[in-house]
Structure 1
Amino acid sequence: MKPALRVGGAITSLVTPFRDDTIDTVGLMAHVEWQLLSGIDGLLACSLTGEGPVLTAAERVRIIEICAELAEGRVPVIVATGTNNTATTIEETRQAQALGADAAFVTLPYYSKPSQKGLVHHFERLAASTDLPLIIHNLPAHTAIDLTPATVARLAEIPTIIGIADGSGDIGRISTWRPLLPERIGLYSTHDATALAFTMAGGRGSFSSAANIAPRLFRSMQLSAACDHMATALLIDDRLRPLLKALAREPEPATVKHALSPIRDISPDVRLPLTGVEAETDAAIRTAMASLQLAYQSDASSPRTFRTGL
């Protein structure tokens, strides 16, 4: 295990750019480098936002390699490795570690709906099979299961678990879970709409899909909250609100890529069963992007020039 690893602030849950149903490696490298130059605090690869469930094994390897090579230790590289099969989760976590990941982001087993006892055994087996730091991802809307306080207390005994990320949007979990956890285990939000409130209540940061679009704003918001500059953090959150509302209209991989396409030259393509956004969502995203002054300038005689100072 890497005992000094401490994850916090604004971590971008990276999209995976595609061109003609193939990973756009050049686009991914440019996007990762832009995130790093924008001061983001970490990178999450192969998550739901990155369309992890539809990536091939070879594609996962290439994405992890790119993130690890470009990050060069500047920020943690975290890889989503959770599946509903304990053996597969172990295999993907070991692979992520071998490729240079700093931590694994492990969603609770979905679809099979294990018992709370099954959840504990799942993570105990994973921790016994790898020394990579683990961040548990609790996402009831997608997995149909939820961590109970008793299970949180039992998981806290596993020494390689360094965080729990919650996507429920329930801020009350901070006050329920925090007393059950040692200091090494941070609490994080994966719900952009309530991420600031989560941090203000005692969270350590957020894994953000929308940070793909405005990394500096998300980083500034989380940093302001961590430094008790709440008025500034609230102003940024208010500024981001129209964008978050627009992105939430449809599945976020599609909406985030759609918003990125005019400002970072990333294709809006997503893989089935996801599809592109509807016209009403497109209009809402355009309005929100205009309010943030996120747009590109181009003319017939020069390459596209981006002004994305966010």
Structure 2
Amino acid sequence: MVWTVDDIPSQEERVALVTGANSGLGLATARAMSARGATVIMACRCRRKAETARTQLLEAGLTGLDLLDLDLADLNSVRRAAAEVSDRYGHLDLLFNNAGVMAPPRQLTVQGHELQLGVNHLGHMALTLQLLPLMQGRNDARVVTVTSGAQYFGRIRWDDPSWAQGYDRYGAYSQSKLANVMFALELEARQQEQGGGIRSLAAHPGLARTDLQPTAIASGGNRLEAVAYRLMDPLFQSAAMGALPQLHAATAATAQGGEHYGPDQLGGMRGHPTRCRIAPAALDREQRQRLWQLSEELAGGLLMP
């Protein structure tokens, strides 16, 4: 039996934060959660794009949509955003670590880290750890961290995580997506050990049509890459379908902490949500703990409140 947005239980009186909610998977997630009654905090870097997306949802008859300024490439912005959520709401039920960047030319975050590692992993890790106190004691609180199939090709460059030498934009992307899964599983393990009661899961969208692909192609300027994406176009599913695994992870009664969801067809490229395999490196507790420690060192005290 396939799982769809119609299977999302009522989210009345629940507060969900979605990073990157102005487009793609984030917008689809915000739409689905709002439709089921949740108050949705749309956390976005660009206020103009966020307002446009919110207006689009409001015109469709949805309600309970709030905007939050959040630049994951600046850990100080993350800290301010988390404080604002605390001031406005005082609690949080669901966190979708959804926003991401893919395969840009080498750029650095405000704190000097490679952009993809900084935004996709460090920014979300900092946001999560600073919001966890707001989720403690909430019924069925969950953190869903969005990764991709690139995790299977990723490896952590322990001695050069910011790719100062020999930068490869897809290698750096794969590293960040592997880091997403490692963080999700290690957070779950620590919650279990501490009795925190918050579940942590991972999800990936398969091949979903979002802004990431055209942006990556434009920034790379590689004709062969553009041709490859055109040939693959029939395999891409909609952003709404791509968002189903993270929605399932966040709301399905059967979804458990530490699980990873993705599409069920064509080797995880498209389809409806199902449990899927996890990159072997992410199953290694020693590597996960090493990444956690490295992340704390890189963030220089900006991970925690």
Compute the TM-score of the two structures, normalised by the length of structure 1: 0.34
Q: Which has the larger Rg?
A: 1
